[in-house]
């Protein structure tokens, strides 16, 4: 089995008087172990990146979750401190990367902040502090010093019939670890809902006219991918799509030779 390269989003972090471009370990581990791909972190350098050159060298893109939120100026929202923290450098990098990957048919997996970036990049908006809405669940992590408790699988979502995820799970209910205080508000015209929570929150989407796998999930399959079957299946499907893209590129290269 090959181990194709996948571009991974990074956050800007300040640590020990240095500026770091960083990605959480769990995403990288799940990509390597469950998807069978080699994650390569892309520094958040915005328009200084040649996205075509980058996508000529990788066969997939993965957007990670983050403590930061997409800046509301990108979708006409309230850019208050309460809706932060923000990471403008990440926004400036992921927005064009998402659009270019979809345009070129490069498989895309967008998780947590990633699904929100995907929605905004394609013209949608976000809803903030969704737990305050009438009839809404509290999707935030419970207060705990234990990460396992904070990311516990505790919420059902319904996979829609005929969706991309239905091809992975079937049109049924699965249990997930959805941990968020923001969610998709107005869904982008090019996206379709793949899964919803019982309170109507959109928990997964796919790109309607995508040339390849292009899925976003609001929950965190990376956290339990080594132990939870449903979590692993998302990464396995992404890995299969990445390898299919790699094979197509290799075939085109041989045909042109």
Please list the active-site residues.
112, 220, 222
Residue 18 bridge partners (DSSP)? 15
43 neighbors 60 (Cβ within 8 angstroms) = no
Measuring CA to CA, how many Å separate 177 from each of 35, 155, 195? 19, 6, 13
93 neighbors 9 (Cβ within 8 angstroms) = yes
Total Cβ atoms within 10 A of residue 73 = 12
**Cβ neighbours for 237, distance < 8 A, ≥ 6 positions apart:** 168, 213, 215
Q: How far apart are CA 127 and CA 153, in angstroms?
A: 23
Virtual CA dihedral for 190, 182, 149, 203, nearest 10 degrees?
-20
Burial class (CB in 10 A: 0-12, 13-18, 19+), 249: middle
Q: How far apart are CA 163 and CA 208, in angstroms?
A: 10
Q: How far apart are CA 64 and CA 11, in angstroms?
A: 9
Residue 165 backbone dihedrals phi, psi, to 5 degrees: -70, -25
20 neighbors 52 (Cβ within 8 angstroms) = no
């Amino acid at each position: 089995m090959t181990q194709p390269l996948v571009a991974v989003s990074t956050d800007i972090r300040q640590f020990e008087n240095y500026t770091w471009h960083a990605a959480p370990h769990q995403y990288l581990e799940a990509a390597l172990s469950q998807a069978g791909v080699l994650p390569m972190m892309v520094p958040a350098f915005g328009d200084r990146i040649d996205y075509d050159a980058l996508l000529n060298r990788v066969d997939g893109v993965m957007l990670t979750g983050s403590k930061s939120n997409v800046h509301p100026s990108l979708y006409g929202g309230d850019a208050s401190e309460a809706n932060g923290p923000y990471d403008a450098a990440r926004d400036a990098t992921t927005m064009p990367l998402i659009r270019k990957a979809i345009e070129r048919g490069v498989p895309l997996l967008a998780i947590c902040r990633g699904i929100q970036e995907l929605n905004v990049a394609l013209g949608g908006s976000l809803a903030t502090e969704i737990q305050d809405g009438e009839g809404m669940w509290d999707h935030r992590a419970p207060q705990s010093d234990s990460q396992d408790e904070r990311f516990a699988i505790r919420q059902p979502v319904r996979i829609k019939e005929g969706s991309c995820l239905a091809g992975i799970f079937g049109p049924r209910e699965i249990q997930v670890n959805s941990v968020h205080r923001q969610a998709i508000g107005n869904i982008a015209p090019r996206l379709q809902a793949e899964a919803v929570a019982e309170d109507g929150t959109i928990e997964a989407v796919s790109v309607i006219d995508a040339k390849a796998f292009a899925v976003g999930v609001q929950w965190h399959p990376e956290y339990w991918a080594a132990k939870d079957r449903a979590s692993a299946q998302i990464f396995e499907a992404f890995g299969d799509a990445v390898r299919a893209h790699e094979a197509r590129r290799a075939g085109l290269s041989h045909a042109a030779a």
